[in-house]
Each structure stands twice: as structure tokens, then as C-alpha cells.
Amino acid sequence: MERGKERLRRSEKDVKKIKWEDFENELTRILSLYSAMEEVTKRKRNLQQKLEPLIQVNAESLSRRNELEDMRQRLEARKLLVERTSAACKVIEQDAKEKEERLGTKVKSLVIGGTSLSVAKSKSQDSNCQLEGKRDYARLNAVMNKLRKRQQNMILHVSCIYALKIKAEPSGDQELESFPSGSRSGTTPVSEGGSVTILGLPFSMAPFAKMSFFTDKKEAQRYATALGYVAHAVSLIASYLTVPLRYPMRFGGSKTYIRDYAPSIEPLSSDMSPIATLSETPRFVEFPLFLDGQDSTRAAYAVFLLNKNIEQLLNIVGKDSRGSRQLLPNLKELILIIQSPMFLETR
């Protein structure tokens, strides 16, 4: 009750007393204030209606800005991944170049060694004409033994560059090794259950026998690469043994050709008789050691000629070929024989 009375007293104090002559002015002032308040309220409503779409647009813009920022972050992450992948590719490419340079250096050293070997062989042949008696014959044997060892060393480098392995199903790859010192036969049997590969590449005559539109191009390319390796290895071995090959080769990696020097028959120019004569100038025909865009029969004949070159080298060291279709086994056996002690005893 006391609080109510206190409030009543305060409200009576707050009441403003107006004189009658000022009442009309005061009323006019209150009405103008009321109309001004209504005008402000209308403006507030209009302004609120105008601001609502802007607020909504601002909210959508903020949402899109957040999405754009997320997309920008994902883009930066992908750029970083691309940069890392590019750096890894450059490292791999540099490693491949270094390996290629090392391989080129080894091949150059082989060529230089082959040249020096050829010079030494020519010098030994010149001195052979001047040797007389048992003492000179012993010196000749010593020189020939050194030459054979040098040939073994050079051909050992060839076998290291163009590594031959026996790929067998139960035991895996087996490295091609030289004969033990106790072996005197000079031959070892090839595993019947395995196949020989060169630098990990196998070779088979199957694509050459049944070439068609559906032949695997990658397999044909692998075989062409293997044939290029074999051709280069055979050429190096023949040069170190100073043996001119019957069928020379024009090297081009996996696009290597082999030449067959066949005599050409031409009619006589003096008369028109059907009698023919052999041309004095030798001509050759090149056959491809690959299948890409080539006749499979010509490619198969090129492989046959390459195997004939290996057979020629086998005959030089006193062995026979394992067969016309055993290209890599024949090359493997040739290298094994040259690395055997029997090769040093060959005269």
C-alpha cells in the first residue's frame, strides 16, 4: 500500500500542468508530434522492406564467397600435388638420362677396347710371320693366350651389358654365369623347363609365324627390341673375335636390318640371247628384324639370317648350333663357351 501511494505521489509530481490559454498550442504540438511519429514508422517499415532483399542477397553472397574460398583452397592443394608430381617426374627423367649416359660410356669403352684388341691382333699376326723355332713358338703361344684372355674379358663386358638369363618356372631367373674352373667340356645343358631372356626381354618365333591384325603390338615391339640387342651383341663379339659376319647388319635399335648378299643375274648387253651371267658387283637385300609395318615372312627370314651369324661364331669356337629357332640359347651357349677354359686352349 505504501509503495502504491508513493507511486501515485510521483505520478502527480510528473503531471505537467498547462494553462488554458496554452492548451490549444500544446495540443497542436502533440498532434504534430504524433503525425511525425507515424511518418517515421512508415519510413521504418519501407526501409525494412527494402533492406530485407539486400540482407538476403548479402547472405547469399557471403555463402558463395565461402564456397569460392573452399574451391580456391582445393585448387591450391591440387596445384601443390601437380608440382610434387612434376618434381618426381623430373627426378625419374634425370635418373633415366644418367643410366643412359652410363650405358653409352660402357659401349664406347667396348668399342675402344675392340679397336685396341684388333690392333693387338694385327700386331700378333705380323710377329707370327717372324717367329721361328720352339722358343718363338712358345712366345707365340703366350701372346695368343694373352689375346684369348683379352677376348674373354671384352666378351664378358658384352655379356654384362646384354645380360642373358634363364627364366625357369619353379626357380625363377637364373643369371648366366661362366663355367667353373674344373669344367673342361665347354657346354652345359639348357633347362628344358625355362627360356632365355636378354635384359629381361624374351623372344619367340610365334608372332613371326602367325602375324595378323590382332597381333599384340607391344609384344612385337618387345621382340624387336630384343632382336636389336642380340644383333648388337653378335656384332661386338664378331669384331672382338675378328670374324667377318656372312650377313652384316645395319643397326637402328629396335629397327635393325640384316643384309643378305645374293648374286644378281643380269642379261648380257652384247646380245639378246636368253643366256644370263652373274653380276661382278655384289648386291644385297635388307631384311627387317622387326614386325612393325613389315612382311612377317621377311622378318622371319631376317631372324633366320641372324641365327646363321651366331651359328658361324659357334663353328669358329668348335661348336654346332642348337637349332634354327634357338636364337637366344645359341647366343647364350656361344658366350659360355668363350668364357670356358676350353676357349683358351683353342689354336
- Count of domains in the chain? 2
> Which amino acid is residue 118, in one-letter code?
S
Q: Based on the domain organization, do 207 and 160 belong to the same domain? A: yes
Q: Based on the domain organization, do 168 and 86 belong to the same domain? A: no
**Residue 188 placed within a domain:** yes
Q: Can you tell me the mean pLDDT for 332-343?
A: 86
Query: Is the confidence at residue 277, as pLDDT, over 50?
Result: no
Q: At what angle do helices 327-339 and 217-240 cross, to 10 degrees?
A: 30
Query: Is the confidence at residue 17, as pLDDT, over 80?
Result: no
Strand (E) or helix (H) holding 49 = helix 20-128
**The C-alpha cell of 269 is what?**
648387253
Answer for the pair 163, 176: CB distance below 8 angstroms, yes or no: yes
Residues of the chain by 3-state class (helix, strand, coil), percent to 5 = 65, 10, 25
Cα 273 to Cα 264, 269, 276, distances in angstroms: 18, 9, 8
**Residue 232 placed within a domain:** yes
Q: Can you tell me the mean pLDDT for 214-226?
A: 76
pLDDT of residue 27: 79
Q: Which of 45-54, 199-208, 276-285, 304-313 comes out lowest in average pLDDT?
A: 276-285
Q: Based on the domain organization, do 244 and 171 belong to the same domain? A: yes
**The C-alpha cell of 199 is what?**
635384359
Q: Based on the domain organization, do 316 and 217 belong to the same domain? A: yes
* pTM for the predicted model, two decimal places: 0.52
Please report which confidence band the pLDDT of residue 213 belongs to, taking 50, 70 and 90 as the band edges: very low
Q: Based on the domain organization, do 283 and 213 belong to the same domain? A: yes
Q: Identify the domain containing residue 95 by its residue range.
A: 47-105
Q: What percent of the chain has pLDDT over 70?
A: 73
pLDDT of residue 75: 92
Q: Based on the domain organization, do 237 and 139 belong to the same domain? A: yes
Q: Based on the domain organization, do 152 and 229 belong to the same domain? A: yes
Query: 194-198 and 164-168: which strand pairing?
Result: antiparallel
Burial class (CB in 10 A: 0-12, 13-18, 19+), 208: buried
**Residue 288 placed within a domain:** yes
Angle 128-234-225 from CA coordinates, rounded to 5°: 165
Q: Based on the domain organization, do 97 and 138 belong to the same domain? A: no
Q: Based on the domain organization, do 169 and 96 belong to the same domain? A: no
**Residue 41 placed within a domain:** no
CATH code for the domain of 142: 1.10.418
pLDDT of residue 236: 92
